[in-house]
């Protein structure tokens, strides 16, 4: 396989070029309030340079694309996603933010963030303990 030696350096370079994303393990909030979920980029990467994507996964169902956010001018809401879900960035915390207003019982789910920059992307999420009591919403990863 003549292409194998070329593929490995590309994969190594790609993996080094992506930030590590950190989400809080869980978040509890009351119904009819606004929840603010954060996705913090690792040191050395500026959130201002990245598009942040958000996904929701209800147990037993596949992940659902919610939205992507880069700036107020460059953003996209998923098809059928309610305007209660909105994206933003917190430059001082170097984080992407998913806000869910008017929390409803059906918002209880796992929320994942992803980044895209140039031609590559990365995906990372932290997990909440399955044995903890959770309210809406929560974040959970692999």
pLDDT tens track for 75-91:
999 999 999 999 999 99
- 141 vs 95: CA distance, rounded Å: 17
The pLDDT of residue 1 is above 50: no
Which of 57, 35, 41 lies closest to 92, judged by CA? 41
- CATH assignment of 20-123, given 3.40.50.970, 2.60.40.10, 2.60.120.1270, 3.10.290.10? 2.60.40.10
Q: Taking residues 123-127, what's their average pLDDT?
A: 37
Tokens representing 90 are 């917190």
Tokens representing 85 are 């879900």
The pLDDT of residue 24 is above 90: yes
Which of 5, 43, 19, 11 lies closest to 116, judged by CA? 19
Residue 53 · residue 116 · CB < 8 Å: yes
pLDDT digits (tens, 9 = 90+) for 63-120: 999 999 999 999 999 999 999 999 999 999 999 999 999 999 999 999 999 998 754 4
Which of 23, 21, 37 lies closest to 136, judged by CA? 37
What is the band of 17 on the pLDDT scale with cuts at 50, 70, 90? low
Tokens representing 51 are 């598009």
DSSP 8-state class, residue 42: P
- 45 vs 104: CA distance, rounded Å: 34
What pTM was estimated for this model as a whole?
0.73
């Amino acid at each position: 396989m003549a292409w194998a030696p070329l593929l490995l350096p590309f994969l190594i370079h790609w993996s080094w070029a992506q930030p590590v994303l950190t989400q809080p393990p869980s978040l509890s909030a009351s119904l009819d309030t606004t929840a603010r979920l954060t996705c913090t980029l690792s040191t050395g990467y500026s959130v201002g340079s990245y598009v942040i994507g958000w996904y929701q996964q209800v147990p037993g169902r596949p992940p659902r694309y919610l939205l992507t956010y880069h700036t107020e001018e460059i953003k996209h809401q998923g098809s059928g996603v309610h305007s209660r879900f909105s994206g933003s960035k917190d430059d001082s915390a170097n984080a992407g933010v998913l806000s869910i207003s008017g929390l409803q019982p059906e918002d209880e789910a796992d929320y994942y963030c992803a980044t895209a920059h140039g031609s590559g992307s990365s995906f990372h999420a932290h997990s909440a303990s399955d044995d903890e009591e959770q309210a809406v919403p929560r974040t959970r990863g692999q």
